[in-house]
Structure 1
Amino acid sequence: MAPQRRKISTSRLQSGSNNSSNLGGNSGSLDYDAAFRRFLRQRPHEAARIVEELKSGTNEELIRARNRLLTMADEAAIQNAIKYDLTMERIEKEYKARKRRAIANAAAKKLTLKDSMLKEIDNEIARVEAEYQASEISKASTSVQIDTNKKTLRGRGGGVLVEPPTYFNSMPKQVAPSTTPNITYLLSEDKIADDLKCFAAMNNESPPKPSTVRDRVDVTVTKQRLSYGGRQFKVGDEISVENAEYGKIEDAKIESLQEAMVVIRGTASWDTRQVFASPSDLCDGRVRIFKKAK
């Protein structure tokens, strides 16, 4: 082995020769290669023995070096295992901490979203209630304020007296406010129509002409929406309406939408006419509504 070889050659040279110039120059350092060659020339048998011990693995220096390397390898393996365990423990702790933070953040965001949704619902409820209260002022049960001017003093208004009281009309007839009737039918519309036909036949009267499939209009009232012949209407829409009592009212609007009754009134300041139409009236054509051209 190189360390043993250099050690033997150094001790041999120190004991056998005091001439430092032959061993390494003027600086006093040893020339190990020259000493090793000198050792091989002077003690060949000992060098051969060392070589055999190295080949067979019985050399003491070789055994000590091998044991030292094995010990270092074992210590390195133990240190690596400890580092691995510490790293895994640190990663697990960090994972658990991040998971707890994520759960806490998700819970906080959920509460924030819930609060914001509840506030939006409250605001929407308040808005709908405000719109409903505002729409109540134009209901039929509320007295209608009529603006009196030169045009309204001509007796217009569908037979309703609009002139101020004078000598000739000091006692004007008070117009009773009309309210939307709350009609509840116990039978379906088809059964009611059949009963009317039977009564007409018993009284020797000609039964009403049945409406054909071609004349009928699809009518549905759902969630404050009126579907009439494929067209959509809502409360407040300006329309034109036509029936047998008033004829055609050009300027009108939908005042109320219910499943049993649709209320339509004129929009002119002098016009107090109102049309109450059930879904069957709209379906059979007794009351017709039209989109007002813009």
Structure 2
Amino acid sequence: MSNFTLQTMQPDQWPEVASLIHDSTNAWYRANRNFDIFTEGPESTLLFCEVYESLDPGCCLVAVEDDSKRVLGSCFYHPRETHFSLGIMNVHPDAFGRGVARTMLGRIMELAESENKPVRLVSSAMNLDSYSLYTKAGFVPRETYQDMILEIPDSGIGTSNLHVRDATIDDVEAIMELERRVAHITREKDYRHFIANESGQWHTSVLYDDDELAGWIVSISHPASSMIGPCIARDEQSAIALLQAEINHRAGNTMVFLVPVEASQIVRAAYGWGAKNCELHVSQVYGEFKPFNGIVMPTFMPETA
């Protein structure tokens, strides 16, 4: 069996990494859930390379087979002010059991430790191989989320009596301060990327209570990712208003969002809108963690649990 070497992903490897993400993820869902999660071709999953490299150039590890030069695995990561965030990780089914994922994870943990920062991620509670990879490495499960999917009517789902508006760059400082208070992290680069929306795929909303920010929420609509989140809110009512507004912004689409299992008001509201459970995810943290002081609804791009 040939060995592999970890390298930084190069631009000419984007198509191969996109195919790896597409094929390996679909292989797991097909084997375990009997459907494909990516319903369009590998060209759609170029989105991950485009978004992640726009945010963090040079922060994708690829495991390249020494003999064949095939990309056996890939993993994106995101150094932030307060932490490292682990992005999507994929290993080719032919390379299972060769330590590819473990080796990539170990390298990223070393990078985070060199800066004395924790590592955060969101892993599937239904993919026990993935879940175990992280817990064996020392990650601790901190929050459980129920993934909810909603086919949004063209007419939307009604409106809240709380005023939600589009975010602007002027909101960034307040957005940072709220996430610092609620989740004890900051990621200014992410907020600016969402609001600038140079790709035309993102939308960001904010909710103020008088002059104080009560919450913010983001969504993306793309063939490879139709999700609402991240969302940070000081309480469930604020999160419901933000979620409702973002759902209406994506009227006519099918969207997925992650709700903390203990946020019963949000869960009931989502069921009332017609949402259904489709999966479970767990936020896991390696290193320092402080309990959340409000509502945290993560997503898969860019990830921060």
Q: Which TM-score applies when normalising by structure 2?
A: 0.16
Whose RCO is larger (CA < 8 A, sep 6+)? 2
- Indicate the structure (1 or 2) with the bigger Cα radius of gyration: 1
| Larger strand share, 1 or 2 | 2
Greater share of helix: 1
